[in-house]
Amino acid sequence: MGLLERLRKEWFILGIVLVIAVARLEPGVGVKGGPLKPEITITYIAVSAIFFNSGLSLKTEELTSALMHVKLHLFVQIFTLVFFPTAIWVFLQLLSITPINEWLLKGLQTVGCMPPPVSSAVILTKAVGGNEAAAIFNSAFGSFLGIVITPLLLLLFLGSSSSVPFTSIFSQLFMTVVVPLIIGQIVRRYLKDWLERKKPPFGAISSCVLLMIIYTTFCDTFANPNIDLDKFSLIIIVFIIFSVQMSFMFLTFLFSTRNNSTFTPADTVAIVFCSTHKSLTLGIPMLKIVFAGYEHLSLISVPLLIYHPAQILLGSLLVPTIKSWVVSRQKALKLTRQPKAPVKV
């Protein structure tokens, strides 16, 4: 099964999972302590499994070369953690006069403050044939920047009365992101030949883990008996989320393909996905820490819960178009680099 087919299948399965997650819930009943044990499996195992999987599947030489692509990393991180939340804040000043639920609008601001995602951008970048190593690096690097910058952005734009335990967040993310990635790379050194020969389904494994994370997060959110969602606000928020994603993807594409840009087509793919995607696996725990005790925490979390499946759907739909563009650009670059035959006089 190709990556595009797998992404479409993932979206279909995701839709079923979310319907089940909402339909089977009883008011006031969360998932903590349930058969999936999300307080253990999600917090400690799921994210670690995704990054171990990435470390195992990524060629070491590609990751090393990605470390030196400073301009690309600066572009992604500045767009994600500076431009994105600022642009959303300006946009929300206009939306504040509308009848849209104010807590859902605050939730949109939290989306803008989130770091790059754990795996969705990497999966889509690989599906298109983009710079997967750069996507992996920005995922890990953005996660560590997000440890400090995301809580500060949340406090700046939304405010909170709680103290943010940076040390515990940093240590947890180090153990669940960097350590598994390093272990995966070490294991790959000893299993390199076997991995190249068998080609295990790394992408499918990461997708299954991600689905479990989304399922338990939806259960935890919609099990709140006090959650009050009106249909109008929810529909408008969904429309805004898709519009923001499309606009920002187009914007990053224009910037990274300017005439004076040094980015390759593969770099552009990584930039488009990494700059516009937001992390659910890191975002939800951060929201729970920064807004601990908030009465409307569930409503604030809803836009992020919508944004993640939306970015997978939108990205998977754009895969054929972007892949076609990458192939045509790469062919054009090869033609321009070929030496011209001498003209006979």
pLDDT (tens digit per residue) in 239-251? 999 999 999 999 9
Which has the higher per-residue pLDDT, 16 or 296? 296
Task: Name the percent of the chain in helix, strand, coil, to the closest 5.
Answer: 75, 0, 25
Residue 272 confidence (pLDDT): 92
User: What is the residue type of 167?
Assistant: T
The alpha carbon of residue 149 and the mean position of all alpha carbons in its chain are separated, in whole angstroms, by 16
Q: Domain for residue 207, yes or no?
A: yes
Q: What percent of the chain has pLDDT over 90?
A: 16
What number is the average pLDDT over the span 112-120? 81
Percent of the chain with pLDDT over 70: 66
**For residue 263, which phi and psi values (nearest 5 degrees)?**
-80, 140
Most confident option among 2-6, 87-91, 290-294: 87-91
pLDDT given at position 31: 46
In the prediction, which pLDDT does 24 show?
43
pLDDT in tens, 55-83: 777 666 666 666 778 889 899 999 999 99
Q: Tell which wins on pLDDT, 154 or 291.
A: 154
pLDDT digits (tens, 9 = 90+) for 161-171: 455 566 666 67
Q: Is the predicted pLDDT of residue 266 greater than 80, yes or no?
A: yes
pLDDT (0 to 100) of residue 251: 95
Kindly state whether residue 339 falls inside one of the protein's structural domains.
no
Instruction: Characterize 83-121 residue by residue with b for buried, 16 or more Cβ atoms within 10 angstroms of its Cβ, and e for exposed.
Output: ebbebbbebbeebeeeebbebbbbbbbbbbbbbbbbbbb
Identify which has the larger pLDDT, 184 or 249: 249
Taking residues 17-37, what's their average pLDDT? 48
pLDDT tens for 190-218 read: 887 787 777 776 666 766 776 676 666 66
Q: What's the rounded mean pLDDT across residues 287-302?
A: 74
Predicted confidence at residue 261, as pLDDT, reads 79
Average pLDDT of the chain, as a whole number = 76
Could you tell me the CATH number of the domain that includes residue 84?
1.20.1530.20
Residue 337 lies in a domain: no
How does pLDDT run across 35-49, given as a tens digit for each residue? 555 556 666 677 677
For range 301-321, the mean pLDDT: 86
Q: Which of 280, 208, 224, 287 is nearest to 17 (CA)?
A: 208
DSSP alpha helix (H) spans, 2-119: 3-23, 38-40, 47-57, 60-67, 70-78, 84-95, 102-113
Using pLDDT thresholds of 50, 70 and 90, give the confidence band for residue 22: very low
**For the chain, what is the domain count?**
1
Assess if residue 338 is contained within a domain.
Answer: no
What residues contact 160, with CB distance under 8 A and at least 6 apart?
A: 154, 290, 291, 294
Residue 48, domain member (yes or no):
yes
Q: What pLDDT, on a 0 to 100 scale, did the predictor assign at position 115?
A: 87
Q: What is the pLDDT of residue 34?
A: 58
Q: Report pLDDT for 316.
A: 83
- Does residue 89 carry a pLDDT above 90? yes
In a domain, 342, yes or no: no
Question: Is 60 within the bounds of a domain?
Answer: yes
Residue 145 confidence class, pLDDT cut points 50, 70, 90:
confident
Tokens 């939806």: give the residue. 218
345 in any annotated domain: no
Confidence check: pLDDT of 10 > 90: no
- Owning domain of residue 322: 3-332
